[in-house]
Structure formats: C-alpha cells, structure tokens
Structure 1
C-alpha cells in the first residue's frame, strides 16, 4: 500500500526543512512524496532541491492558494492513500505513517484520522492546544464536528468520486470537503486515538477578525450546501474548541 504525502508550500523556508525531514525519516517504506510550491521567492526552492532525491514529484508555479496547491498534489498522486503534511507541520513520530497504515488495514477502512497538536512556531515541542478527536457518527455533523483535517488519510479513489477542494471557499474548503466525505455513508471511517500531526500556530482562518468572520460565513454556507447543519452547528463547532486549550501535558517529543 503506497501512501502519497502532499506538502503545499509558499515562502515557508523557515519551517520547510523540518517538514521534509519529518516525511523522509518515516519508517514506512512505501511513500510517494509530492511537494507543490506556489512559486516561492525565498529559499524554499533551494531547500527542496537539496532534498530532491527524496521527493518523487515537485512543481513550483503560481497557484490560487493552498487548496489549489493541494488539488494539484492530489492530481499528481499515484498512491493508494493520500495524506497531507503542510510546510509548517510535523508528523508526531517517525513511525506515524506505519502506525496509521496498520490501523487502516486492521479496520478495513477507507478513511482514517487521529489527534492534532498546535505547537509554538519556534519550539514544536511546546504544545498550545490539543485537538482530541473521537469516533465518527452521523449526528456529530449537526453539532459542527469535524476531524482534524491534517490528520486525515483517505483512499485516493474517494477524491475521484466526491471531488477535491472547492476553490469557491477561500478558508473553509477543507470543512466543505469533510462534510461531503463524512455525509456519505458508503465510506468506512476509523479513528485512531493518537497524535498524528503537530501544527505550528498561526493558521489563515484565525489570523484576524476579518478571516474569522469569513470562515464563519463559509462554514454556514458549506453546512447548508451539504444539508449537514445550520448556524447553530457553527456555534457548537466553535464552543467545542474551548477544551482543546486545556492540555493534558503529554510528554514532549
């Protein structure tokens, strides 16, 4: 079973090398590593070229943002399973992918996901927020539930069946995709209770008030389009994040 890992990057030279190392140090041997760069003007391309022997596919060209870059990566991928590791992120452990593949096989699943840690930009061992997910059931969607998108591993054929990221959403295309995915009862999902990804804080959706308002508006539009909920779902979605800031102090990596 080959896993395609897609890294989208744009002027992320400060963190990209650690993301690349996080992929190439994985113990699982069957990884197709794809890097999609948005024509960076910093040292990004130099770093990619340094590790080019470990990168199976690479493109550097202007794009329409991260969702466009991820769509390109999905189209380029040839693996059985597709997962993402953004340029600011790290897999929690060198055995992460191996463990996820084993859980995917053992549960005969089409989709697998786990937990996510938000970490400090300059010190990814220091956790700011811990997103502990849970096993899926359809009623959760109306409560605004979603799994941590960076932890999702999905069979590539699913993208052919339900489509990839809708570029009409500037910030919430991942939520729209998750609603399409988890609203479809034909796909077998499984949750593995372990941290998959460590994400550096500073994401686009929470950068400022303007983006927060846009995210809320797009969340509501995605819920209505997918007939999965309403404005109250978004309210519960935001309330449910509060416990994530009460960290359980897992031993640092």
Structure 2
C-alpha cells in the first residue's frame, strides 16, 4: 500500500546527484513504463519524487509496485501540473533535477547524460525522441524565442529554484517561461549534451490544451528575459510569416 505523505511529514536529510520529479493524474495507462524506465536507467544516486493530483483511477495502485524505489510520494488535489511541480521544489535534495510526465520514459543512454554533469551552476540539456522525430539541439536565446526545448531533456541545478518557480498563470507553458528566465540569466551556464535523454509523448496534455495567456504574453516575455535584440529579431520573423500568409490570399 502506497503511503500518501503530507508535506509536513517530510524530513529533509541526505543529498543526491539527481532528483527526478514525476507529476501524475489518472495516469494508469502510462505510469508503470515511466517508473520502470527510472528503475532500469536512473542510476543509484537518485532521489525520486512522485506528486499525484489525487487520481481517481488505478494510478496509485500501480505506483505501489515501485514504492521501494520512490523516496517521496504525495497524492492530493492540486491546481495542475505546475502546481504539482512547485510542491516538489520544496523537497529537492539533488544537485540537479529532471522533471518527467507520467507518459514519458528515460532511455538507455540516460546514464551517460547524468555522468557528464560537472558544474553545479550549469543547466545540462540533451535530446528527446518521440514517435516521429528527435527533438533537441543547441538552443541559443533566439532559437528559444521561436520554440521551447523539451522539458524532459533538461537537468536544472536545484539552485535555479532558489530564484524561480513555475508561474501558475500559464497552464501549458510555465516551463517555457522558466527556460526564458534561465537562458536570460547569466549566473547559470547552459550546456548542450548530444545525448538522447528521454522518450516524449507528443499526445500528452500540451497537445490538446491551449494556453492563451502565454500566447498573448510571449512577445513581452521574450523582450523581458531574452533581450531587446532577440525580441526585435523575433518580431521581424513573425511579421514576415504574417506577410507570407497574407500574400497567399491577395
């Protein structure tokens, strides 16, 4: 039987190279594969935190088969994915942290990704694979203005979250805002490792949920965190795209 911990019961002790956070809600179809991939490829110097939003299906029953591998489990109602992630931020004891969805999986090359971590103020990121393509590559500030890197392939030093947390205003792209903040913050280095980190399910929550607040705010956020030059280049690109679309109708 899985013990559902109250945040107040958690005693902070010990340290790990990496914390992995999984957030779940009614994920009975996927959670077993996700957890098994962590058992298989996560390594031994690992803190595993699972935050469930109060699932009403068999999610927590299936999690129970892995309770010996999970350091902290919480199951209670929340305000969505990023609220669950913010809860986990207070529990981190790793030097770095990686966030996974319940429908994501670590890949066999994951150990070589973690073994490459050296600088405790560096954000390390690699590639994700989906059923259709490899997602990743080096992200400059301008590339970040155009699209978000795969969150499941980014290991943040936990000290990042001494400064930032996920903004609950954005239902789908709070992680995108976090990346803008991090790439615009010169106190953290960003290091790309050409390694396939995880499998990313492109049919997940972000594929069917809209985030109009982020869409509306994005130009302002690009300017605020990535700089005026990146903002101007981004605006020029969007203008060219609109002109190209308009030219098809005239």
What TM-score does the superposition give when structure 1 sets the normalisation length? Answer: 0.78
After TM superposition, the structure 1 = structure 2 runs for residues 1-253 of structure 1, keeping only pairs within 5 Å, are 2-26=17-41, 28-93=43-108, 95-96=109-110, 98-105=111-118, 110-118=122-130, 127-134=131-138, 136-141=139-144, 143-160=145-162, 162-207=163-208, 211=210, 213=212, 215-226=214-225, 228=227, 229-230=230-231, 233=234
CA distance in 1, matches of 2:218, 2:142: 17
* Matched length: 222
Contact between 1:116 and 1:148, CA under 8 Å: does it hold in 2? yes
Structure showing greater Rg: 2
Most deviating of 172-181 and 23-32: 23-32
Structure 2 residues without counterparts, runs of 5 or longer: 1-15, 239-250
Structure 1 residues without counterparts, runs of 5 or longer: 119-126, 238-253
Residues 98-138 of structure 1 deviation map (CA, whole Å, 9 limit, x = unaligned) = 21222222x676110011122xxxxxxxx22321321x444
RMSD value, Cα: 2.6
Following TM superposition, where does structure 1 have runs of at least 4 consecutive aligned residues deviating by more than 6 angstroms? none
Q: How much does 1:145 deviate? A: 4.5
Report the secondary structure of 1:13's partner residue: coil
CA 1:219–1:234 in structure 2 vs 1: closer, same or farther (change >3 Å)?
A: farther
